[in-house]
Structure 1
Amino acid sequence: MNDVDFLADRFEAHRARLKSVAYRMLGSLTEADDAVQEAWLRLSRSDADEVENLGGWLTTVVGRVCLDMLRSRVARREDPLDVHMPDPIISWEEGIDPEQEAVVADSVGLALLVVLQTLAPAERLAFVLHDMFALPYDDIASVVGRSPAAARQLASRARRRVQGTAPEPDADLATQRHVVDAFIAAARGGDLESLVALLDPEVVLRADTGAMRVIRGRKAVAGQALSFSRFASTYAAHPALVNGSAGVVSTDDGVPQSVLCFTIADGKIAAIDILADPDRLSRLDVAFLDH
């Protein structure tokens, strides 16, 4: 094995973790792959023998690449003014494949990813690297170009924002599925009272149809669910995991029409995130749902 192959093997051992970092930062699977590839290019051009902690070095490199990408979005006025639904990761409820499992570990639901998009780039980086991947503030400081104390403050501000707007989901998947199934049945049956009973008083529904629409409050969300159900009553509803949580993929003749992800907290639906952008749906691989 030559030096390049040896270095590539060392890099591959960290790929899943690096992609999970980039996905949380960017909310885009394609851009996450781009960030990981850029990290490989930087590693291949460096003196890897001088790197004592390759995993930590690569994590900070990916963080720096993602930070640059986020700042570029802001410069183009795409973020946070045009916050959109992150790319969903869809799989069978029976289990997530190993690569997906690494990306969606630690319950990184769509609701949390949407909130992360509202953070300033440096805040997002500090929160993701420290709170999700336990990177020391000294390392984060070198990425954002600030002192460790300032990096700690960035993460603290982000943490308060996340805790205030992203509910902690119930961990039990069976409980999640029971609530989601009851919600779908009530919506299709036109049972407004049952719908309202399943929803948290502060529930938020976010629907991305090409532009983000946000609805808050259980009566408004229940009413929207009834309208959506009447429109989509002929679609096939497939139970699935969406970012590791109970969700539903609706298809028409095998063509995806919507992806719904539910955040269940304390037995109630605290958030519903819907991707219904035809262009983005056309790029999803959900063929396995029809088999």
Structure 2
Amino acid sequence: MKRRQITALLLTFALVLGMAGCAGSGENTGTGEDSAQSGEDGAADEPVKIATKPMTEQFILGEMLKKLIEENAGYEVELTKGIGGGTSNIQPAMEQGEFDLYPEYTSSGWILVLGHETGDMSAEEMLTQLQKEYEENYGMTWIGLYGQNNTYAVVVREDTAEEYGLETCSDLAEVSGELTFGGNPDYIERADGLPGLSEAYGFEFKDIRDIDIGLKYEALRNGDIDVTNGYTTDAQISRDDVKVLEDDKNYQVDYYCSTVVRQDALEKYPKLQETLELMNGILTDEAMAELNYQVEEEGRGEAEVAEEFLISAGLIEG
């Protein structure tokens, strides 16, 4: 009696499992939207993973990449902003497959990753060589140049530029003995910072002061210093009370921004390359400085600023 009851229960349990299996099979092989999405390229189950460095410009660029990929390629995106250490931590994570892509600067890849010294080549020549060596060494490539060159800049107050007739760094060298330079300590100390710049142009400032990186522009506007180091896409540079002097001896190396991406990600997400190519040539130093200003000075969100710019550029629909 007990054996017959157990047998009946087992048969009933097997029947229930079989019905559930049929129901599940029918759902997975149906014509639903999820099946159509994953069937096209096999990548729908995993998001495209993007990383950025810990700076406003990178936050905005990360949001641009995210929006373009979501809108134009239809892939889900996981954006991780502000990786501490920048290149030194993102590159190893890329090699391990923790991220698929990130915005990077040409000379950062050339010097920090590949270990080369600064070279005398055009932006396009460096990009070609970066693509070649990254593919050979890391299974990655670089796609496009966004347009902005986030390199070091020598900045003075507009009234100082007018008083001394300053347009170039060579102009500054002639009157540097009357002016005070203030910059963040690492720039003052590093060989390719103020020491190298001073040797190239013959700067002999009246005084040199250590200024915290976040206080340089305030010190400049307050008259505590007359000259400082900045970046060509700094938010503060978009204001009309400061002036960037031309690097007329081309001392500073180029830091054009591009997208570093894993080759296997391009294979996994077939629409990814053509989408990333949309970033090519869309920015200038002035445009990037203005976007940084909107976030840092006006308090707007990075995603909002990025989306608005892409709409104005005609790359996504409003």
Larger Rg: 2
Structure of higher RCO (CA pairs closer than 8 Å, 6+ residues apart): 2
Q: TM-score range by the shorter chain?
A: under 0.3
TM-score normalised to structure 1 length: 0.23
